Amino acid sequence: MTSPAHHTRSPRRLPVIALAALALLAAACGAPPSPGGWAPALPVKVGSADLVLVTHKSHVYALPDQSSNATWQFPPKDKTGYPVSESAGAALNAEIARLNLDATATSSLKTKVADLHVSGPSITALKDAISATSASDADRSKLKSAVDSITKFESGALGKIQAIYGDIGLSPDKKTAFVAGFKGVLFALDTTNGRLRWLRDDSPDGIVGGIATDDGTIYYGTKGKHVFALDAATGVQKWQFNTKGEVWATPTLSSDTVYVSSLDGSLYALDKSGGQRWRFSGAGSGVAAKPVVSGDAVYIGAFDSKLYSVKTSDGSLNWSLKGDNWFWATPVVSGGTVYAAALDGKVYAVDVATGAARWDRPFNAGEAVRSGPVIAGGGLIVAARNGRVFKLDLATGKASDASPVVLVNTKILADLTTDATGKTVYIVPDSATLYTLDAENLGLPGNVPLPQ
Amino acid sequence: MDPLTILSFLFHLIFVDPMTNVLVALARVFGGNFGVAIIVFTLVMKVITWPLTSSQYKQSRAMQAIQPQMQELQKKYKGKDPKKLQAETMALYKEAGVNPLGCIFPMLAQFPIWIALYQVIRLALGGSPESLVTLSQRLYPLPFVHTAVPFNHVLLFWDLGQSDTTLILPILVAATMYVQQKLITPTPSAGASAQSQQQQQTAQMMTWMMPLMFGFWSLNVPAGLALYWFVSNLSGIVLQYFYMGRKVNWKSMLQFGPATAPAPAAKIRADRAVEEKPKSAKEGRPAAAESAPDVDSEGQPMNALLKSERNARRKQHGRRRGKR
């Protein structure tokens, strides 16, 4: 039998119970999901090896074709830390050279610098070696401070990558890959071994877009409303351009112009010294899609659910196409047609010149499409967010009989890419896996788990 | 489809999606500033939930008013006739118009709002591109809301999508919640029975436990949700101030422990009620309505509104008895 005391006390206990329930519910809600990244896979030929650079969260993997045994990964598995960047090593060596030590001491210090990692005993070893030199107290102290400063900066910066969304940039000689982390850390890697060449920390400005490269310069935009051009070899800034809104897309390079879309609803055309040629600000909302240049037009999708065609000459509007939700996927232009997927789950095909529909009706994938489609195997390969991959007839927009290929329990948000032959499509879902799809026949996709 | 999925679908349909669209529309109205949208939304919600809030205040005051009768009942029946004590307590609640759950329901009713708001802030201000993709699927097909992105998620020095590292909002949330709790919760009287004192101490414990919990949560949830709590508490304090006829003993805010001074007026009046008043509806039960003191457990005058409500109930009760 319940005691009366229990009954009279129960109203007072109820707040405690209610709060406990709230705590449980709050726990059920969990922390906000951490950004996962959606960088597309990048096939690259390094020497004689065919590698695919794939990212998952804060890691970059260089996978040999169809194999999950990574040639290298960055940051490396080494628990004692990874070597400091080449540029940091060079800076320390320059400091050592300024001390005018004898050849033996200099050589000893440079050997230690070559072994220097961002953490672990190598730091102490180098500082001990510096202490043993005949340099003045002030010089030794200065050099030790430089060691501390460099190792602390590089260790801390790489701990802030968090996720990678944008395209990986590749130097024209394919020896360096440029990767932008969501928290604002940008780094250059040697594609042969994954060794860090240099890094730059733009935090607290984040980077959602990727890196565009040409000879000797890389270009990217940040959430801090900036566009930067850096020296590709050293990471030293060449110029900066300020936009009115955050930049979430990889800039597009075409001849001597850098096209940058921005969440301020604009498309900026910049010359390669950072000057503004023109600005198209006709979008009714933010622009987060990567611009695509073809002929004398540049195509951008916007959050006002429209796809725009803008003249490259002066930024004036050619035409616009209205969808039922945001255009975020990178459009594809081929054979006089623009293929653009939207978050309404539809794929639109329109004439490049007029914006008139090419298909009877847009293809409906039944789920939001954020991934940029690719043309491969004679069709348009489209991946919906829910893991369903379609091959569409370019002329009619009808899905092939083999469609859809379903990647179970995955979300696909990264742009699709193809290998050099255009026969294999690379799909990077949110799971730690790289899928490879035969663009001709579709069929069962190859499944390459990423190293844990 | 499993029940959890259905529940989640319904929760989104009823709470998250409408709230998302309202907040996005408000942000659009206020130049894309999501912080201003949250403040306006909070004030609107305060108006909408006013019937619940005022009911909570009434219940709290009514519960406070019948404490002397409760004590007498416990004195009389404790250890002797538990069944009778239970029945008499419930009858006392009924007669005084007190619902033991009355204070809790308004808070429970706000749970879904908090959780939904948490999810909306995660979606709109979480900062991850994935959350924006999800947000695009939750917006109604109205150009006004569809073109509202991107938002300005900074208000003063707070990034509303991230937890507040300045500690200012958690402190503000805790402080305003403390004041609000203090306004609702009666101060314990030393003259109360051990049983009643225990209840009062539990209530007192809530006055500092709630602020601590909410302050702690404000450290961890996005600052936008903490902003909602702060504005909600602040507006609650203002409403309660006017509801109580601007008679607030602000000094009592600094009284953290149980009161040391006895509350003679309430105690004496309650004792008299048991000794002198004739048994009313049922034998052995003090006539709660008639014996309810005109002072609260601190000896403070009860607010006019409560008295008028009780007078109305008394008349209604009298009419019912007359009919019988």
Does residue A408 lie within any of the structural domains? no
B60-66 mean pLDDT: 75
Q: What pLDDT does B308 receive?
A: 47
| pLDDT over 80 at B78, yes or no | no
Residue A272 lies in a domain: no
Contacts of A21 in chain B (CB under 8 A): 111
Cross-chain Cβ contact B199/A286 below 8 Å: no
User: How confident is the model over A403-430, as a mean pLDDT?
Assistant: 93
Q: Is residue A93 part of a domain?
A: yes
Q: Mean pLDDT, to the nearest integer, of A145-163? A: 91
- Chain A 281-340, CB below 8 Å of chain B: which residues? 284-286, 288, 303-305, 324-326, 328
User: Residue B160: pLDDT band by 50, 70, 90 thresholds?
Assistant: confident
Nearest residue in chain B measured CA to CA from A328: B133
| More confident site: A365 or A66 | A365
Instruction: Check residues B31 and A65 and name the one with the higher pLDDT.
Output: B31
User: In this predicted structure, what is the pLDDT of residue B106?
Assistant: 67
The chain-wide mean pLDDT, for chain A, equals 91
Most confidently modeled of A172-186, B91-105, B300-314? A172-186
Contact A35 B100 (CB under 8 A): no
Share of chain A above pLDDT 70, in %: 92
pLDDT of res. B298: 39
Q: Do A248 and B70 touch (CB under 8 A)?
A: no
pLDDT for A94 equals 94
Q: Above 60 in pLDDT, residue B256? A: no
Of A9, A245, A343, the CB nearest to B133: A343
Structural domain harbouring A131: 86-158
* Chain B residues in contact with A263 (beta carbon < 8 A): 149-150
Residue A346: DSSP 8-state: E
**Continuous H helices in chain B:** 3-11, 17-29, 34-48, 50-65, 67-77, 82-96, 105-125, 129-138, 143-146, 168-184, 194-220, 223-243, 264-276, 288-291, 304-323
Name the residue with higher pLDDT: B265 or B156. B156
A348–B contact, CB cutoff 8 A? no
A359-376 per-residue burial string, b: 16 or more CB within 10 A, e: under 16: beebbebebbbbbbbbbb
pLDDT tops 60 at residue B34: yes
pLDDT at B324: 38
What is the tens place of the pLDDT at every residue in A67-112? 888 999 998 887 677 899 999 999 999 999 998 889 999 999 999 9
Q: Is the pLDDT confidence value at A2 over 80?
A: no
Residues of A in contact with B103 (CB under 8 A): 11, 14-15
User: How many domains in chain A?
Assistant: 1
Judged by a CB distance cut-off of 8 A, whether residue A207 touches chain B is no
In a domain, A365, yes or no: no
State how far the Cα of A235 lies from the Cα of B266, in Å rounded to an integer: 78
Is a pLDDT exceeding 60 seen at residue A40?
Answer: yes
Residue A382: per-residue pLDDT: 97
Residue of A nearest to B104 (CA): A15
Kindly determine whether residue A11 and residue B77, on different chains, have CB atoms separated by under 8 Å: no
Name the band, by pLDDT with cuts 50, 70 and 90, for residue B159.
Answer: confident
Confidence of residue B267 (pLDDT cuts 50, 70, 90): very low
Which one of B76, B101, B136 would you mutate to disrupt binding with A, by most A Cβ within 10 Å of its Cβ? B136
Q: Between A and B, how many residue pairs show a Cβ–Cβ distance under 8 A?
A: 134
What per-residue confidence (pLDDT) applies to B294? 40
pLDDT score at B123: 84
Domain assignment present for residue A120? The answer is yes
Residue A114 has pLDDT above 80, yes or no: yes
User: Is A236 part of a structural domain of the chain?
Assistant: no
pLDDT at B260: 40
Instruction: Please state, in angstroms and rounded to a whole number, the distance separating the CA atoms of residues A99 and A6.
Output: 82
Residues 6+ apart with CB under 8 A from A373: A329, A332, A339, A341, A347, A380, A381, A382, A383, A416
- Asked if the structure places residue A94 within a domain, the reply is yes
**Least confident span in A113-122, A274-283, B73-82, B292-301:** B292-301
Contact A22 B136 (CB under 8 A): no
Minimum distance, in Å, between the CA of residue A263 and any CA atom of chain B: 7
Cβ <8 Å between B137 and A343:
yes
- Looking at the complex, does the CB of residue A208 fall below 8 Å from at least one CB of chain B? yes
CA A437 to CA A44: how far, in whole Å? 18
Burial class (CB in 10 A: 0-12, 13-18, 19+), A137: exposed
Residues of A in contact with B221 (CB under 8 A): 26
Out of A211-225, B90-104, B134-148, the most confident range is A211-225
pLDDT higher than threshold 80 for residue A179: yes
pLDDT at residue number B278: 40
Torsion region of A139: left, alpha or beta (phi above 0 gives left; psi -120 to 50 gives alpha): alpha
pLDDT of residue B49: 81
CA A189/CA A75 separation, integer angstroms: 10
**β-strands A433-438, A424-427: how paired?**
antiparallel
On whether residue A37 sits in a domain, the answer given is: no
Give the minimum alpha-carbon distance from A372 to chain B in angstroms, rounded to a whole number: 14
Above pLDDT 90, what percent of chain A? Answer: 79
Q: Locate the chain B residue with the closest alpha carbon to A245.
A: B150
pTM of the model: 0.80
